[in-house]
Copies of this chain bind each other. A is one copy, B any other.
Amino acid sequence: VAAAALTGPIEAAGAVSTLSEFALIERFFRRSSRSAVLGIGDDAALLAPTAGCEIAVSVDMLVAGRHFFPDVDPRALGHKALAVNLSDMAAMGAQPRWALLGAALPDVDSDWLAAFSAGLFALADEFGVELVGGDTTRGPLNVCVTIIGEAPSGRSLRRSGAVVGDRVWVSGPLGGAALALQALQGRIGLTAEQREACERCLLWPQPRVALGLRLRGIATSCIDISDGLVGDLGHILEASAVGAEIDLAAIPRLATLDRAAAADKPLVRDCILAGGDDYELCFTAPADSDGALAALAVELGLALAAIGTITASGRLVARVDGVPMPALPHGFDHFRG
């Protein structure tokens, strides 16, 4: 079972007791098991992997004040904690199946927990994912989700298969989440409409699981964009030992941002190129897949866009009106300072 808590003086006053931890798990996180051999309630869950499949596993830890504002809508946090993991499954072309939740909570707030678990389970249900394990404890707010998915052996997407001449694609508008953060921090003025569109990207990212599954056999490499296009495409280039040229104008953006004031355009551009937290996919595919991908975009209702080409240069070049940008904003370092 879960690790015992220290007791006595070093324990914060009013700590979650073992009993209330069990009660919490029962009340907010335990549901009858549908897909597991054995779900929550023993020392481990037991799962039966599908014959012929490999399992894909990933973990993400979200810390209050670093990955989300402490006063975030708990329903949105429950959604996002799982969404970022589902996005990793999407990037691998894996079918998400099961999740485990580690959570440190500063106090036991039933309303907060009810909303958090509602957000998490709504997304889990949408994607057929079952929560099969959990460990809740008292501590500074921290949510750590492990996701387990499956893909037929040898058919997963990786970062390492991009080939010179492949097109570079993204699965939808970039920069919205980063702009929402800039607005929340008072660094940019957005209209109510713009702000709402951007905050939807930041708080309610939609993992591109269906796309990832359909990209098996089409994409030569794939990654999800969580740290920004420049950084994450950079991972593909490094893993594949190639370069790329991309065209800024080809990168999809939220329609509402085309009306950004001129003064804000450099910031908008940097958010598109280097803003994190959008969770669209970036992938590469041979040019002869253009038709298949165009059809897939229509079928899935996604704004798939070819934004450039894989080159042999080993470097990433972004062009604006045909002219290479002299320097690229990288990851979220741009926003530090």
Q: Which residues of A line the B interface, CB within 8 A?
A: 1-12, 15, 17-19, 37-38, 41-49, 51, 54-69, 80, 84, 87-89, 91-92, 94, 98, 100-104, 132-140, 142, 144, 146-149, 151, 153, 156, 158-160, 177, 181-182, 185, 187, 222-224, 226-228, 231-232, 235, 239, 276-277, 331-333, 335-336
Contacts and interface: CB of A to CB of B under 8 A. Distances in A.
A133 B98 CA distance: 16
A100 B227 contact: no
Given A1-B226, A2-B60, A3-B226, A102 B102 contact: yes
Contacts of A160: 42
Nearest to A331: B18
A45 B11 CA distance: 36
A84 B9 CA distance: 23
A155 B215 CA distance: 37
Contacts of A181: 6-8
Given A5-B276, A57-B133, A58-B100, A159 B42 contact: yes
A101 B60 CA distance: 9
B66 A9 contact: no
Contacts of A89: 44
A13 to B, nearest CB: 10
Nearest to A185: B8
B66 A11 contact: yes
Given A89-B44, A132-B57, A67 B4 contact: yes
Contacts of A331: 17-19
A101 B57 CA distance: 11
Contact of A7 (B9, B68, B232, B336): B336
12 contacts: A2-B61, A2-B226, A4-B277, A43-B87, A44-B58, A46-B156, A57-B100, A59-B102, A59-B133, A59-B134, A140-B140, A144-B144
A47 B135 CA distance: 24
A96 B329 CA distance: 42
A60 B146 contact: no
Contacts of A12: 65-66
A66 B142 contact: no
Contact of A59 (B37, B100, B185, B332): B100
A8 B180 CA distance: 12
B135 A44 contact: no
A51 B153 CA distance: 13
A139 B66 contact: yes
Nearest to A281: B43
Given A144-B102, A227-B4, A15 B57 contact: no
A10 B47 contact: no
Nearest to A147: B44
Chain B CB within 10 A, most for which of A3, A91, A177, A331: A3
Contacts of A10: 65-66, 69, 185
B49 A1 contact: no
